[in-house]
């Protein structure tokens, strides 16, 4: 899906690029869970998944950013900052021996979804997003490499968490097809802001951000 998204960006097919990127987010939400369910986890699979994420959620969004910002030197620098943050985020994730029931830093699929939906909404005529876009992209890059905690629904002990993330992702695709780009951007932004809110109000998230040691295998 990352490759499809990049081809769509090169050919200036924004809607296809957005759909491909969101499909990649959906698939990414299930690959690790499926591997654990089938007991086919391996070091090779972990590294391969990381490289695939770099393409789908790093290179593809960076290309989208570069083209959106007029494909000049400043755009290239902005895209590089975003891509570098994704690479650092994924490298740190692979280097950490302990997996928690929460992400450390904004997950790169969520950042990619924010970039894609934000640009889509800006292109529909929302001028303020076009002006604030570069600042927002740098902010996303910073959030990816912070230690802010973001809920990981696929690792909650109750099945409802997995069902919830599935419904939200499918709803996101439906909103895109219906042209509700503003609603889709708002949906993604709510998750992006949840880490900041959780840092300010940790007591509200104590239950949902348990360590994996408390989660049944």
Give per-residue pLDDT as tens, 109-134: 999 989 988 888 887 776 676 678 88
Q: Among residues 122, 112, 18, 109, which one has the least CA distance to residue 69?
A: 122
Predicted pLDDT at 143: 94
Token pair in block for residue 147 = 């230690």
Q: Do the beta carbons of residue 103 and residue 162 sit within 8 Å?
A: no
41 three-class SS: coil
Helix (H) or strand (E) holding 103: strand 102-104
Q: Would you say the C-alpha torsion 190, 140, 55, 103 has a positive or negative sign?
A: negative
14 has a pLDDT exceeding 70: yes
Does this model's pTM top 0.95? My answer is no
Q: Per this entry, what is the length of the chain?
A: 217
104 three-class SS: strand
**Measured between alpha carbons, how far is 5 from 8 in angstroms, rounded to an integer?**
5
pLDDT in tens, 40-79: 667 776 777 888 889 989 999 999 899 888 878 899 999 9
């Amino acid at each position: 899906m990352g490759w499809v998204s990049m081809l769509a960006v090169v050919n200036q097919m924004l809607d296809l690029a957005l759909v491909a990127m969101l499909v990649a987010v959906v698939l990414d939400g299930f690959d690790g869970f499926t591997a654990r369910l089938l007991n086919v986890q391996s070091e090779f699979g972990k590294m391969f998944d990381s490289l695939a994420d770099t393409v789908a959620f790093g290179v593809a969004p960076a290309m989208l950013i570069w083209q959106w910002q007029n494909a000049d030197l400043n755009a290239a620098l902005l895209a590089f900052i975003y891509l570098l943050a994704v690479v650092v985020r994924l490298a740190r994730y692979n280097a950490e021996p302990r997996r928690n029931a929460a992400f450390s830093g904004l997950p790169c699929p969520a950042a990619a979804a924010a970039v894609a939906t934000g640009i889509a909404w800006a292109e529909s005529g929302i001028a303020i997003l076009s002006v604030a876009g570069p600042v927002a992209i740098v902010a996303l890059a910073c959030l990816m490499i912070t230690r802010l905690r973001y809920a990981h629904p696929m690792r909650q002990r109750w099945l409802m968490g997995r069902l919830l993330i599935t419904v939200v992702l499918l709803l996101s695709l439906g909103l895109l097809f219906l042209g509700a780009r503003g609603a889709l951007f708002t949906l993604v932004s709510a998750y992006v802001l949840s880490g900041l809110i959780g840092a300010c109000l940790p007591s509200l998230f104590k239950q949902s951000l348990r360590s994996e040691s408390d989660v049944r295998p």
